[in-house]
Amino acid sequence: MNIIVVGLSHKSAAVEIREKVAFSPNQIEKPLKELVALEGIIEGVIVSTCNRVEIYATTRDIAGGIARVKRFMADYHHLAMESLENHLYSFHSESAIRHVFRVASSLDSMVIGEPQILGQIKTSYGYAAEYKSSGVILNRFLHKAFSVAKRVRTETKIASSAVSVAFAAVELAKKILGDLSDKTVMLIGAGEMCELAAKHFLNSGAKGVMVTNRTFERAERLADEFGGEAVRFEELFEHLHRADIVLSSTGAPHCIIGPKDVEEVIRRRRFKPVFFIDIAVPRDIDSRVDDVDNAYLFTVDDLQEIVQANLAQRNLEAEKAEEIISQEIGQFFKWLSTLEVTPAIVALRNRFDEIRKGELEKTISGWKDLPPDAEKRLESLTLALMNKLLHAPTKVLKQAGQGGRVDLYVDALRQLFELEALQRDDEELELEE
């Protein structure tokens, strides 16, 4: 049994193509059912996000399975195969396992270390489980992928540093002000980045928000949104000392806060430090403010530098993550291989037992004057014989499972002993687990 992966991502297809192949989450039941109804496809999971559409499946026929899944993707979305083919990639066996482990660990994402992909795969798996398109192998596989992703996240620093300007601002504030839970934020002006940063600060526990704007109504609206307080622009300097964090983004052509203002603010705050972020261009806050003791001024450029440095670091951490994944692949692949072995051993044993019972029956029924305990003795003789004969092949098969030569041995076994096609029963596997 093999795992195959077919799909496309932001790396192989532009958004125009990706959106054509996307599967909608509210209508995932139908494609899942059609997927596992394909010839040769036994289990299936569909993962569809804005950056990738991938199908994970199990099959005995790798080449045929992959081809059929590709065709399924084209046909389901009424697309011509030719237009889609160049954008699709496929993996099987070990490389399929590696790919999915990497994707779940966010190593294949646009921003390495992003947290959404894991949740998205978990949701997709949830649907597959609900509609029963996934079975023992994909269930185990995806659970393993989730635990590998968790390992990567905890054992490497791949997701620990800020890679957006807003997050970088929060991290920097923590380095200066420590715990943010009793700190107040002041928003001067408005703007997407400003508001996003304010949201992040609130999420990180900031106690309160003050909003000021040349247009008081705008300040009020924004203050409502954040559950904070609106301040009239003319009264800015009366309230500025109450803020530990100041985010400024007005359209003013010149600076509105200068070093003397800040010195006064610091004095009024009894020298408690203040963190300024100047997002505006042209700048709102005089750069000499940074020279004031206990005042810390950063611009968006500074924050961008932090983000770049963190991104570079994530790439280094990604190498460690790849190592972890390599370790885990080995383990999982071994498990997958041994799935074939047990039914083979059981089938062989059953065949031997059939023969044994048949011969025993024949011998006993044709024997006159059978001594009283003879039947028992014959039974134990034939059993012992069978077990001893089976001992070596059983051992070798189990070891073959670990070495990866399983398919070869199982096929040979089937042919040599004329066993029926070894249908793997899902229930048997449940018992093994």
Partner 1 sequence: MTHFFFTLTLVLYCCATAAYLFCLFRTSALLNTWASRLLALGCTAHVLSTIHLATKLKHLPLTNMQESLSFFSMSLMAGFIFFERRYKVTTLGSFVTPAALMMFIASATLHSEARQLPPILQSNWFWVHALLAFISYAAFAIACGVAIMYLIQRRYLKTRHFSGLFLKLPSLETLDDISYRSLSVGFPLLTIAIISGSIWSEKAMGSYWIWDPKQTWSLITWMIYAALLHGRLVIGWRGKRAAILSITGFIVLLITFFGMKHGVSW
Catalytic residues: 50
Chain centroid, CA 239 distance in Å: 45
* Tokens encoding 90: 């496929």
User: 1, 79, 176, 236: which one contacts partner 1 (CB under 8 A)?
Assistant: 176
Is 94 an interacting residue with respect to partner 1 (CB under 8 A)?
no
- Min separation Cβ 200 and partner 1, Å: 17
Is 427 an interacting residue with respect to partner 1 (CB under 8 A)?
no
User: 179, 217, 418, 427: which one contacts partner 1 (CB under 8 A)?
Assistant: 179
* DSSP conformation letters of 75-134: HHTT--HHHHHTT-EEEEHHHHHHHHHHHHTTSSSSSTT-SHHHHHHHHHHHHHHHTT--
Task: Measure the CA–CA gap between 58 and 4, rounded to whole angstroms.
Answer: 6
Is 167 an interacting residue with respect to partner 1 (CB under 8 A)?
no
- Min separation Cβ 294 and partner 1, Å: 4
Parallel/antiparallel/unpaired status of strands 52-59 and 2-9: antiparallel
Q: C-alpha angle 283/288/294, rounded to 5°?
A: 110
User: 293, 418, 430, 433: which one contacts partner 1 (CB under 8 A)?
Assistant: 293
Given the complex with partner 1, which of 37 and 309 has the nearer CB atom?
A: 309
Sole window of 123-131, 305-313, 361-369, 377-385 interacting with partner 1 (rule: CB under 8 A): 305-313
Partners of 82 in the β-ladder: none
105 to each of 38, 84, 115, 432, how far by Cα in Å? 29, 27, 9, 28
User: 77, 87, 239, 269: which one contacts partner 1 (CB under 8 A)?
Assistant: 269
DSSP reduced 3-state for 163: coil
User: 151, 174, 218, 356: which one contacts partner 1 (CB under 8 A)?
Assistant: 174
Is 375 an interacting residue with respect to partner 1 (CB under 8 A)?
no
Count interface residues toward partner 1 (CB under 8 A).
20
* Tokens encoding 318: 């990604």
Q: C-alpha angle 347/353/357, rounded to 5°?
A: 150
- Min separation Cβ 298 and partner 1, Å: 8
Sole window of 25-33, 107-115, 127-135, 265-273 interacting with partner 1 (rule: CB under 8 A): 265-273
Cβ burial of 19 (10 Å; 0-12, 13-18, 19+) is exposed
Is 271 an interacting residue with respect to partner 1 (CB under 8 A)?
yes
Given the complex with partner 1, which of 108 and 278 has the nearer CB atom?
A: 278
Enumerate binding residues for partner 1 (CB under 8 A).
157, 174-179, 269-273, 290, 293-294, 296, 302, 305-306, 309
